[in-house]
Structure 1
Amino acid sequence: MLNNEHRRYLLDLARRSIAYGLSHHTPLPVDLANLPPELRRLAACFVTLEKDGDLRGCVGMLQAERPLAEDVADNAYAAAFADHRFAPLAADELDRLDIHISILGEPSAMAVASQQELIAQLRPGVDGLILQEGGRRATFLPSVWESLPDPRQFVERLQQKGGWPRDYWSPQFKAYRYETEQFP
């Protein structure tokens, strides 16, 4: 868990990276040397952008591959300019953005043999979910429970997001759950 000062720093870093990206077309470089260990540790995060209450971009990593501060800066930039669902952010949108950061805990494999078992094991409002089969993978953050509170709908919509039919299941399907630290 991060303290409030670290959270404020990361939210400010995300906004500065987006502003930097408007003029430099690249994420803000992060100087890790003077940051506390909590912000230098390897961590995976998602940065979600909302404008006027609507999703405006969301990009992240499922596995920790770089220091948290770098992950936040890079994912904020990507959410603003490289989320394929949206046009790149325009300068006049920056002040209207709400920024949310979700730091992912370690995913854990779920032992499930059917869609029904998966649905029964989910903890609404707590679990993020990764579904994977072969080279295809999709995830929903725990915050998605706010708009999809029914576990069956949560799973079916995630399957659709991943390109599978809503009622699809195969023996090769893998499911992983994770929790997040989300702020603000």
Structure 2
Amino acid sequence: MSLTKAHQQRLLALAKNSIEHGLQTGKPLKINLADFPPELAGRRATFVTLEKQHQLRGCIGMLEAVRPLAEDIAENAFSAAFRDPRFPPLQAEELDGLDIHLSILTSAEPMAFTSEEDLLAQLQPGIDGLILEEGRRRGTFLPSVWESLPEPGQFLRHLKQKAGLPAGYWSDTVRVYRYRAEVVT
């Protein structure tokens, strides 16, 4: 589902408003879904990525669609700004120059492959987001990560490390799911 430019702008404004509300109150913005068109009220999984001078400043999201789209954006924008454990909470003076990127995900589909080489051959750089699972370990990379890891082998090695596995790890029990994202900036 592609969003209209007006809907994209509304979601970006919502993300910024939730961050501003968080700076003032310490809480995410509560929204009334009746204020949003049906296209923004359906359940969707999203990630909100914050960047400052092209450097990651926070990224939080959901892989499963558990909340209405507008609500998910408001919650994830707040969490990316204030709850990403990799960064201190955002400060008011950081708001100027903060770039907000929204990723609206499709449902994840399991991939069928016979080996690591077979999996690598199926990957679509710049298009696929991946979820890798092995036992209780799990990691995901949004499609935008291809910008910094453009080669499929490199992308997969780093994803394994993100999931807490060695870069060269492989077993027949590895599960991989593919999804796509509509990016709004």
TM-score normalized by the length of structure 1: 0.98
Aligned residue in 2 for 1:152: 153
Aligned residue in 1 for 2:88: 87
Q: Distance in 2 between matches of 1:131 and 1:119?
A: 13
Q: Distance in 1 between matches of 2:26 and 2:114?
A: 45
Q: Distance in 2 between matches of 1:160 and 1:120?
A: 20
Aligned residue in 2 for 1:176: 177
Q: Distance in 2 between matches of 1:38 and 1:136?
A: 34
Residues 67-89 of structure 1 show CA distances to partners (whole Å, capped at 9, x for unaligned) of 00000000000000111111110
Q: Shift in Å at residue 179 of structure 1?
A: 0.6
Aligned residue in 1 for 2:72: 71
Q: Shift in Å at residue 120 of structure 1?
A: 1.0
Residues 107-138 of structure 1 show CA distances to partners (whole Å, capped at 9, x for unaligned) of 11101232222111100111001001222211
Q: Distance in 2 between matches of 1:15 and 1:122?
A: 33
Residues 9-50 of structure 1 show CA distances to partners (whole Å, capped at 9, x for unaligned) of 000000010010012111100110121111100000000000
Aligned residue in 1 for 2:141: 140
Aligned residue in 2 for 1:53: 54
Is structure 2 residue 52 aligned with structure 1 residue 30?
no
Q: Distance in 1 between matches of 2:50 and 2:96?
A: 12
Q: Distance in 2 between matches of 1:133 and 1:166?
A: 13
Aligned residue in 1 for 2:40: 39
- Between the two proteins, the alignment pairs up a number of residues equal to 184
| AA matched with 2:58 | G
SS in 2 for 1:176: strand
| AA matched with 1:61 | M
Please tell me whether the aligned partners of residues 47 and 60 of structure 1 are also in contact (alpha carbons under 8 angstroms). Answer: yes
Q: Shift in Å at residue 102 of structure 1?
A: 0.4
Q: Shift in Å at residue 171 of structure 1?
A: 2.1
Q: Distance in 1 between matches of 2:13 and 2:146?
A: 26
| AA matched with 1:33 | A
Residues 37-67 of structure 1 show CA distances to partners (whole Å, capped at 9, x for unaligned) of 1110000000000001110000000000000
Please tell me whether the aligned partners of residues 115 and 167 of structure 1 are also in contact (alpha carbons under 8 angstroms). Answer: no
Aligned residue in 1 for 2:22: 21
Q: Distance in 2 between matches of 1:117 and 1:139?
A: 19
TM-score normalized by the length of structure 2: 0.97
Query: Mean Cα displacement is larger for which, 105-114 or 52-61?
Result: 105-114
Q: Distance in 1 between matches of 2:92 and 2:73?
A: 20
Please list every run of 5 or more consecutive structure 2 residues that lacks an aligned counterpart in the other structure. none
Aligned residue in 2 for 1:162: 163
Aligned residue in 2 for 1:122: 123
Runs of 4+ more than 3 Å apart: none
SS in 1 for 2:95: helix
Residues 136-180 of structure 1 show CA distances to partners (whole Å, capped at 9, x for unaligned) of 211000011111100000000011111100111122210001111
